[in-house]
Amino acid sequence: MKSFKQICIDLRRKDHTLNEIIEITGRSKTTVYYHIKDIALSEEKRKQISENSRRLAIGVASSRRGIALRPFQPFDKWTPELVLLTAHMVFDGEISKTCAYNNRSSALIGRFVMLMKQVYSFPPKRYLNSVTGVIKVCYNNVAMANFFKLKSNELLSCIPELPTSYQREFLRAFFDDEGCMDFRTIKNKRSIRGYQNDVTILRTVELLLKNFDIDSKLQGRNEVVISGKENLIRFRDEINFSKGVRINPNRTNSLWKKNLEKRKLLDMAIASFKK
């Protein structure tokens, strides 16, 4: 009788996706992924997945009433930039009848707007919350929103199958949007924390981090934590917080009360370890 590992390997070599193998075997994503992570899907299979998603998106959009006066450019093939764009919508964005992104960081808002130009040539509406300082950019296009709903689901499903350069951008979006740097010398705390209510996303983040030799653990129901000097160094070298992403010094529970970049705080935490 074949071992479970060999069953997974055989199914993968027959070009089955991670989700297909999970459905066939009835085992968890983590268990299956461990056995097939080094066996890539064929280029033909990847194209087929992207094309099916594109056709579905176009079909849904065309079934809606009305015709968009401002057309967008659908895509069927993922790139690192499109992974970053779509992931931002998943984490700190909204995909309903509009595509929107919310953040305090003008650097991240600027990056999102730049990335959106690959898909939509029209400028967004901008809103500023004067109390929190959060900026919202909003693209009012129902057809495009329907397209990104499907692409976001596709991304969450296929990101473990994509190259590590794509996975890096997914993780960068996650930690820029949902991450914080916990550095408290008095309590000997040095960790990177990422928050998300969807535990499936947290497990995916945990899986992807392992591809960069970064150990993490899920804590509670909505948190992934990276700790330890070597893991923090690998995170800094492989992923890092983006330039311009800062802590909020105005929060009542803010320890630093300074407008520090998160990447600077990470450097400080690493340097504070005793040699």
**β-bridge partners, 155:** none
pLDDT of residue 171: 98
Give the percent of the chain with pLDDT over 90: 59
Residue 138 is inside which H or E element, if any? strand 135-139
Q: 177-206: per-residue pLDDT in tens?
A: 999 999 887 788 899 999 999 999 999 999
Q: Nearest Cα to 201, choosing from 179, 182, 183?
A: 179
Say if residue 66's pLDDT is above 50.
no
DSSP state of 249: T
Q: How far is CA 113 from CA 28, 53, 106, 139, 268, in A?
A: 37, 24, 10, 10, 31
As a whole number of angstroms, the distance between CA 142 and CA 243 comes to: 32
Least confident of 17-26, 59-68, 261-270: 59-68
> Average per-residue pLDDT in the chain?
87
Q: 79-100: per-residue pLDDT in tens?
A: 999 999 999 999 999 999 899 9
Q: 98-121: per-residue pLDDT in tens?
A: 999 999 999 999 999 999 999 999
Mean pLDDT of 257-274: 86
pLDDT of residue 84: 98
pLDDT of residue 262: 93
As a whole number of angstroms, the distance between CA 136 and CA 126 comes to: 6
Asked if 262 contacts 177 with a C-beta cutoff of 8 angstroms, the reply is no
Asked if 80 contacts 111 with a C-beta cutoff of 8 angstroms, the reply is no
